[in-house]
């Protein structure tokens, strides 16, 4: 949720929290459903677009000038070409969801997913604010995951960082520094691999 800090509306957070804070009805159930997430995201985007309009922001360049995020470089890229260019077949059929039955995941799986989502949110900039720390601690209290699962998720995100950094068969000083920051962030959140 980078739009919130970008527009000066608050810290990054998950979809459910953003909807609650901006008065958007979000039909959160025991398991995320793509349809309800998409609907809530669309309503949230409408809210953000109104804020953008009120601030008289008319171009992606003006939006990008508010704050510096890596993904904003993509504003200058051409959109992806049609599927045929990649030798992919465009689907002409639409799948009806009318008779679809919602499958509710077990509570531990849901708790793991919720904590994973929180970790990814607060670690995105490799800087844990006190507000983000409190956010993670509140989620931990709410979901009651055993410490072994918390450590597993911290190890998973650390391993994911290593994997991402070495995917180019190189590990430069900048990446070493980022990995060190990730370690410190995880330590601040309660545990980092090797502690």
Token pair, residue 62, equals 């003006």
Q: In the 8-state DSSP scheme, what is residue 23?
A: T
pLDDT in tens, 94-147: 776 666 666 666 788 889 989 999 999 899 899 999 999 999 999 999 999 999
* Angstrom distance (rounded) from CA 8 to CA 2: 10
Domain segments of the chain as ranges: 1-75+98-104, 106-195
Question: Which 3 state secondary structure label does DSSP give 75?
Answer: helix
* Angstrom distance (rounded) from CA 53 to CA 32: 30
Task: Scan for tokens 């970790």, then name that residue.
Answer: 119
Rounded to two decimals, the pTM is: 0.57
Give the per-residue pLDDT at 31: 52
């Amino acid at each position: 949720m980078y739009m919130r800090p970008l527009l000066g509306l608050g810290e990054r957070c998950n979809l459910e929290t953003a909807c609650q804070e901006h008065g958007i009805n979000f039909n959160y159930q025991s398991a995320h459903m793509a349809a309800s997430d998409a609907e809530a995201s669309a309503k949230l985007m409408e809210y953000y677009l109104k804020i953008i309009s009120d601030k008289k922001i008319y171009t992606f360049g003006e939006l990008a000038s508010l704050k510096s995020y890596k993904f904003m470089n993509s504003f200058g890229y051409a959109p992806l070409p049609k599927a045929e260019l990649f030798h992919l077949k465009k689907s002409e059929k639409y799948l009806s969801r009318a008779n679809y039955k919602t499958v509710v995941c077990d509570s531990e799986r849901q708790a793991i997913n919720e904590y994973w989502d929180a970790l990814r949110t607060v670690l995105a900039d490799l800087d844990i604010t006190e507000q983000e720390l409190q956010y993670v601690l509140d989620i931990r209290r709410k979901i009651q995951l055993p410490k072994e699962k918390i450590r597993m998720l911290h190890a998973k995100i650390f391993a994911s960082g290593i994997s991402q950094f070495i995917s180019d068969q190189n590990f430069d000083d900048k990446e070493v520094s980022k990995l060190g920051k990730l370690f410190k962030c995880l330590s601040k959140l309660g545990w980092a691999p090797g502690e």
